[in-house]
Amino acid sequence: MRKQQNRSGFVFKTYDAPQKSLFDQLLDIFQELITHTSGDFDEAMDWLKELDKEYKLTNDEYTLDDFVQELKDKGYIREEIKPDGNNGTAITEKTERAIRKRALDQIFGKLKKSSQGNHRSKLNGRGDEHTGDYREYRFGDGLERISMTESLRNAQINNGAEDFRLRESDLVVEETHFKAQMSTVLMIDISHSMILYGEDRITPAKKVAMALAQLITTRYPKDSLDIIVYGNDAWPIKIKDLPYLQVGPYHTNTVAGLNLAMDILRRKRNSNKQIFNITDGKPSCIKLKDGRYYKNPNGLDEYIVNQCYSMARQARKLHIPITTFMIANDPYLQQFVDNFTEANQGKAFYTGLQGLGEMIFQDYESNRKKRIK
């Protein structure tokens, strides 16, 4: 009788993704729809009903009514009184957080949280990130920076074990890197052109803003992110307001956006500061000193354009680089952005909607690795 031999090794088979519950599947679709509808629950549910009719998302055992009830039970939606006095339904902060996290996963991939929230510079000195390099102790170095293991090793080598002494010449200090915080202002164009020509440009811009906010608050909590929107005027919005952001009947006052962004950054103590600007159109509006608006949507107005160039140079003097993400391919607009970027010594990307998030992420990660001067 032959003895059966035990075999060990690897077994390869087709990957089977974990099965999602019907609620989780519907929740993914609901979060996408609530982003497109700017937080309008009723409109999102109307779209979900149409999708259910076409693709049979639910069944007799689990209906859309069951899904809505589970959203309530799990704290994703709440009942509220609308301005007209009627009862309505709105999303909660839990949903807002879930949408931001989903945007981060969609655009930037699966990024893990990190307690290290600072940006390392290339300069050595008194910092808080170890480099693995050592140098001799110098007067003024803090005692907490002395590497006792290496210092005791030096003392044993220099003096021997029998007559052990720890002298100042035996002391070594481990080098560390400075860490620099980053202050970022994200400008989002909400002029009417962001939804013209049958292309929804505001939703991708919102997703990018939500993803960037989630990235910074979870991975780089010591950094700051301020978000402003601009049309005829410019004003700041809170991160929790992003799902509800809508385009208005506005022209594009780029100068107002830059003014506000620079005012915000002037108040920041960080040495590393930057502005990201997501736009699809040319500057077409400016506010005059008497409070009136000067608007010219036809071509590039020389007066408005020169004001933009002036703001770019001011930002350069303040060591604030501006990165423009241009969602347009008109040659004359690209020429304007090129001139603007040269005046600021910043950067410009001409991108479609698909690559917008990846470009902003890569630029943010690139900038955080260097000290902006």
Instruction: Using the predicted structure, report yes or no on whether residue 139 has a pLDDT greater than 50.
Output: yes
Instruction: Using the predicted structure, report yes or no on whether residue 275 has a pLDDT greater than 70.
Output: yes
- Identify which of 30, 2, 8 has the alpha carbon closest to the alpha carbon of residue 102: 30
Q: What is the pLDDT of residue 366?
A: 76
Q: What residues contact residue 344 under an 8 Å CB cut-off, 6+ apart?
A: 312, 313, 315, 316, 321, 322
Instruction: Using the predicted structure, report yes or no on whether residue 168 has a pLDDT greater than 80.
Output: no
CB 259 within 8 A of CB 52: no
Q: What is the pLDDT of residue 230?
A: 98
CB 128 within 8 A of CB 176: yes
Q: What is the pLDDT of residue 14?
A: 66
Q: What is the pLDDT of residue 83?
A: 80
For residues 200 and 206, what is the distance between their CA atoms, to the nearest angstrom?
11
Single pTM value for the model? 0.74
- Identify which of 320, 309, 317 has the alpha carbon closest to the alpha carbon of residue 286: 309
For residues 29 and 263, what is the distance between their CA atoms, to the nearest angstrom?
39
CB 158 within 8 A of CB 167: yes
Q: Percent of the chain, pLDDT > 70?
A: 83
CB 74 within 8 A of CB 66: no
Average pLDDT of 342-368?
80
Q: What secondary structure, in 3-state letters, does 274-330 show? A: EEEEEECCCCCEEECCCCCEEECCCCCCHHHHHHHHHHHHHHHHCCCCEEEEECCCC
Average pLDDT of 264-277?
91
| DSSP-assigned letter for residue 47 | H
Where residue 82 falls among pLDDT bands split at 50, 70, 90? Answer: confident
Q: What is the pLDDT of residue 350?
A: 81
Beta strands 182-189 and 224-230, pairing class: parallel
CA-based R_g, the chain, Å = 28
- Identify which of 75, 76, 74, 3 has the alpha carbon closest to the alpha carbon of residue 33: 76
Q: What residues contact residue 297 under an 8 Å CB cut-off, 6+ apart?
A: 251, 284
Pick 197 or 298 by higher pLDDT. Answer: 298
Residue 83's CB: how many other CB atoms inside 10 A?
6
- Identify which of 226, 334, 325 has the alpha carbon closest to the alpha carbon of residue 278: 325
Instruction: Using the predicted structure, report yes or no on whether residue 88 has a pLDDT greater than 80.
Output: yes
Q: What is the pLDDT of residue 147?
A: 78
Strands of the chain (E only): list them: 77-81, 87-91, 119-125, 129-136, 172-180, 182-189, 224-230, 234-237, 272-279, 285-287, 293-295, 322-326, 347-350
> Tell me: the pLDDT tens digits for 59-75?
999 999 999 999 999 99
Average pLDDT of 40-45?
96
Instruction: Using the predicted structure, report yes or no on whether residue 122 has a pLDDT greater than 50.
Output: no
CB 280 within 8 A of CB 326: yes
Where residue 357 falls among pLDDT bands split at 50, 70, 90? Answer: confident
User: Between the ranges 201-205, 234-238, 278-282, where is the mean pLDDT highest?
Assistant: 234-238
Residue 33's CB: how many other CB atoms inside 10 A?
18
Number of H helices, E strands in the chain: 10, 13
